Chains A and B, each alone.
Chain A
Amino acid sequence: MTFDWTKLLYTLLGLFIVINWGLLQYGVVRRITARVAKRIGMPVYQPYIDLIKNYSMRSQISHGVMYYLGPVFRLAGGLGIFLFMPLVFGSSFTNYSFAGDVILILYFMFFGMLGMALGASEGGHPYSFIGISRGLSQFTTIEVPFTLAVIALAAQHHTFSVSGIVEAQQGGILYWNVFQNPFATAAALLAFLGMMGASPFNVVMAPQEIPIGPPTEYHGTYLGVLQTNRAILYVSESILMVNLFFGGATSWPELIIKGFLVYMWPVFVGQVYPRFRIDQSVPWFLKAPLILGALGLLFI
């Protein structure tokens, strides 16, 4: 087996595009949030400046190896989702998609959160345990409807590969899974609200609660890594939704338009709905989204 350098270069180029897309999109989201509040808001390029500043802090302190590895695991989770998912179907930007990548991606979604749990627990901040337990319990319930939706798609198209699911949706808008299996799509879109950490379900990272929970102790480069991961992770999750339910994309413009719209869904929901407490959000995911996910399975 020979090593395919071209593929690696295309993957790195895709990663570069996704990081910049994520940072710009975050700036746009903050800008939209500001406009909703009748403010002008920060410049669109503010996330870049924050990133440069965080990477250039002069002094940093560490609480130990696990503390150091927390952001690294989180970044690995974001990169894992990105690496094993085709960006643009039928082009060179298919990354390292293979026959069973959906299962791996589902695993990587949880992996970052677990890494943060290990890292934050060594940070010495007593309330990070509360933040982490909240985050893990919420994310566990988010996974349930999302996994049901993904299993429904996998059973429908007889494949565990994202590329395979995208391939099955080619041929027209009516072949998209949003029309082929609307219940699974609805369940996944509701789960997606929680995955993106937008307003109704962002109590885990909320600054006003338990001073921002797990990342409290992270500063400087640690926080820079977390910010980089946020750029990669949220865009990768949007692209995953595009791939799974909205017919994938056969060109970069198509991918960016679809990804942008999907990214905006939790943003707009977040603008309208206030924050749930954790004991409200956990049952919420186990009601309508779970029922929709089960209906999606029956709908095949």
Chain B
Amino acid sequence: MSEKKQFIDPDLQPRTVIGPNGEEIQINPLEDYFCSERPKVHEPKRWKIFEDFVNWARAESIWVLGFGTGCGSIELYPLLTPRFDAYRFGVQMRPTPRQANLMIISGYLSVKTLKRAIRSYEQMQNPKYVMALGSCTINGGMYFDSYNTINRLDKYMPVDVYVAGCMPRPEAILAGFNALKAKIKEGRAEGANEYAKNFDYYKANQKKIIKDWNMPDYNW
């Protein structure tokens, strides 16, 4: 068991590469490929009218990271179909965390997936929002005593909107989008800044549950 805990991805181990002219290059991927800087708090603009305008634009143009966990991801696809058509509300799917603003944790989150969810969340740029679907993200739901899933999502990343249900139907998700929009327009959706302010708290919680931590503390 102890060996497994110390497992480091071979791609991430320090190594020496011989360059085209025969020179030796030392590579330490964890330092070279990732930035170990802590997240920064980005205060809102001082002019309220400007911040309100920008928040309106952010609320009307929500780009969702297509990241499905658990059983809720199947509820996300009907959102894009003619019946529910989330595009009407300015909701679009983006395939890459860099361009996305909203991360939907759709249902139970296993420990293995939590690691990926954290990496994706940290790669998203400020401002970013998290929507949690289903009772599994609130208190564990029917998996409350599972050895392999987390119970409360907001111990690991700041959640803006919970959509309760098991599973919530697409109508409920659309209602969740509208709740999120109202929150953004009021200027209360500051999840990214919260994450930066309480970074140590979130990181300690994450490290408590992820045993094979083989990535930088903050990877963006």
- Contact, CB under 8 Å: B96 / A40: no
Known contacts A53-B61, A58-B125, A58-B126; is-contact A41 B87 (Cβ 8 Å): yes
- Contact, CB under 8 Å: B220 / A216: no
Q: How far is the CA of A48 from the CA of B125 in the complex (A)?
A: 20
Asked if B95 is an interface residue, CB under 8 A from chain A, the answer is: yes
Known contacts A37-B82, A53-B61; is-contact A59 B126 (Cβ 8 Å): yes
- Contact, CB under 8 Å: B96 / A124: no
Asked if A50 is an interface residue, CB under 8 A from chain B, the answer is: yes
* Nearest residue, chain A, Cβ from B84: A39
Interface positions, chain B 151-179, Cβ under 8 Å from A, are none
Query: Looking at the complex, which one of A39, A52, A61, A211 makes contact with B125 (CB distance below 8 Å)?
Result: A61
* Nearest residue, chain A, Cβ from B193: A58
Interface positions, chain B 93-134, Cβ under 8 Å from A, are 93-96, 98-99, 101, 125-127
Interface positions, chain A 124-149, Cβ under 8 Å from B, are 124
Asked if A218 is an interface residue, CB under 8 A from chain B, the answer is: yes
Known contacts A53-B58, A57-B126, A59-B125; is-contact A219 B98 (Cβ 8 Å): yes
- Contact, CB under 8 Å: B127 / A57: yes
Query: Looking at the complex, which one of B35, B92, B99 makes contact with A219 (CB distance below 8 Å)?
Result: B99
**What chain B residues lie within 8 Å of A52 (beta carbons)?**
53-54, 57, 61
**What chain A residues lie within 8 Å of B54 (beta carbons)?**
52-53, 56
* Nearest residue, chain B, Cβ from A31: B87
Known contacts A124-B33, A212-B96, A216-B96; is-contact A58 B61 (Cβ 8 Å): no
What distance in Å separates the Cβ of B107 from its nearest Cβ neighbour in chain A? Answer: 22
Query: Looking at the complex, which one of A39, A56, A61, A207 makes contact with B87 (CB distance below 8 Å)?
Result: A39
Contacts across chains A and B counted by CB atoms under 8 Å: 81
Asked if A223 is an interface residue, CB under 8 A from chain B, the answer is: yes
Known contacts A56-B58, A58-B42, A59-B40; is-contact A218 B126 (Cβ 8 Å): no
Asked if A60 is an interface residue, CB under 8 A from chain B, the answer is: yes
Q: How far is the CA of A58 from the CA of B124 in the complex (A)?
A: 11
What distance in Å separates the Cβ of B95 from its nearest Cβ neighbour in chain A? Answer: 4
- Contact, CB under 8 Å: A220 / B57: no
Q: How far is the CA of A219 from the CA of B125 in the complex (A)?
A: 8
**What chain B residues lie within 8 Å of A38 (beta carbons)?**
82
- Contact, CB under 8 Å: A46 / B58: no
Q: How far is the CA of A140 from the CA of B75 in the complex (A)?
A: 42
Indicate the member of A37, A56, A124 with the most B CB atoms within 10 Å: A56
* Nearest residue, chain A, Cβ from B33: A124
What distance in Å separates the Cβ of B81 from its nearest Cβ neighbour in chain A? Answer: 8
What distance in Å separates the Cβ of B50 from its nearest Cβ neighbour in chain A? Answer: 9
Residues of A within 8 Å of B, CB-based: how many? 31
Q: How far is the CA of A106 from the CA of B50 in the complex (A)?
A: 41
Query: Looking at the complex, which one of A39, A53, A218 makes contact with B98 (CB distance below 8 Å)?
Result: A218
- Contact, CB under 8 Å: B90 / A43: yes
Q: How far is the CA of A56 from the CA of B220 in the complex (A)?
A: 19
Query: Looking at the complex, which one of A39, A56, A216 makes contact with B85 (CB distance below 8 Å)?
Result: A39
**What chain A residues lie within 8 Å of B217 (beta carbons)?**
none
Q: How far is the CA of A57 from the CA of B98 in the complex (A)?
A: 11
Q: Mark A198-232, 1 if CB is under 8 A from B, else 0.
A: 00000000011001100011111001000000000
Asked if B88 is an interface residue, CB under 8 A from chain A, the answer is: yes
Known contacts A216-B98, A223-B99; is-contact A34 B87 (Cβ 8 Å): yes
What distance in Å separates the Cβ of A249 from its nearest Cβ neighbour in chain B? Answer: 33
* Nearest residue, chain B, Cβ from A42: B87
Q: How far is the CA of A50 from the CA of B62 in the complex (A)?
A: 9
Q: How far is the CA of A211 from the CA of B98 in the complex (A)?
A: 11
**What chain B residues lie within 8 Å of A1 (beta carbons)?**
none
Known contacts A50-B61, A216-B96; is-contact A41 B125 (Cβ 8 Å): no
Q: Which residues of A contact B (CB under 8 A)?
A: 30, 34, 37-43, 46, 49-50, 52-53, 56-61, 124, 207-208, 211-212, 216-220, 223
Q: Which residues of B contact A (CB under 8 A)?
A: 33, 35, 40, 42, 53-54, 57-58, 60-61, 81-82, 85, 87-88, 90, 92-96, 98-99, 101, 125-127, 192, 220
Can you list 9 contacts pairing A with B, beta carbon distance less than 8 Å? A40-B87, A53-B58, A56-B58, A59-B42, A59-B126, A61-B125, A61-B220, A216-B96, A218-B99
